[in-house]
Amino acid sequence: MWPEVIAVLSAMGWAGDAVLVRIGARTSNVIAAAFLSYAFAALLLWIYLFVYFPLDRLWSPATIYFLLSGCLQPLLARILYYIGITRIGVSRAGPLRGAEPLLSVSLAILFLHERPNSFVYWGATLIMASVWLVLWRRSGEARWKVFDFFFPLGAAFCGAVSQNLRKSGLLILPDPYAGAAISASTSLVIFSLFLVVTGKIRLARQRRESLPFFGSAALVSASAQILNFAALNGGEVSAMVPLLNTTPLFTVVFSALFLREVETVTLRVVLGALLMVAGVIVIAVR
């Protein structure tokens, strides 16, 4: 299968994960969704490593970067994103979460001393315009607080930092599956400890009504993560990144198809998602 097709399927998978969590959260909570997602991804990836990967290679400095990455993403990034989609909806949280490429470039400029060309700045302008379109609200629309938008934006920031850490680790140990397994396991362990210490472990209990949706979301997100690495393995990063970041567009489409009774997708939100994707593409082809 072409890596371009794999990248688009990965983007569709992450969008589907968000929609399924949104539906399941009506009878449960995002903590249960996140716990099941981490556990399933960690189990699936470690099975793969035990079968195909020499485990002694994990005694590498790269493991430190993967561990730090796992503290931010998927752990913190996904929690913030799940909270965001329950507060402002998938159709708005999705495009805001898609600001991650812009933040990644900004961090690279600050800490890696990269000097991007004008395409990056044009892409940044498009992304900022998309954010304003998504955030702008007319009187009489659904109730939400401006503070709620910091959850998906915070998820985007965590993801941007995590991507830089992953890149540093992959330069030492170029095996994306090992990195993904360590990151997912780190998220699962820290999240479980947090729930135990705070006495909220009961919130991770899966309810019968939401389990079909959360279980499906866990399967879809794990598959999307594997497809993400497969796309990067099969194609150039500059070509794969814009395709992998078409997730906001699919979140809007899926929201319109499957969440009509839960949230309304307006023309502004659709235009915001399109501008977000356009900005990502402009930055990627620099």
Q: What angle in degrees, to the nearest 10, is found between the helix axes of 90-97 and 150-172?
A: 40
Tell me the residue range of the domain where 276 lies.
Answer: 3-284
The number of distinct structural domains making up the chain is 1
Distance CA 170, CA 223 (A): 20
> What's the pLDDT at 116?
66
pLDDT along the chain (286 residues), means of 10: 81 89 86 88 90 86 90 82 81 73 73 70 72 59 71 87 78 82 88 89 88 92 82 66 72 77 70 77 69
Closest CA to 152 of 72, 84, 241, 235: 84
Distance CA 33, CA 25 (A): 8
> What's the pLDDT at 139?
45
> What's the pLDDT at 215?
92
> What's the pLDDT at 132?
67
> What's the pLDDT at 236?
62
Distance CA 205, CA 193 (A): 15
Q: What angle in degrees, to the nearest 10, is found between the helix axes of 247-258 and 267-284?
A: 160
Contact 33, 21 (CB under 8 A): yes
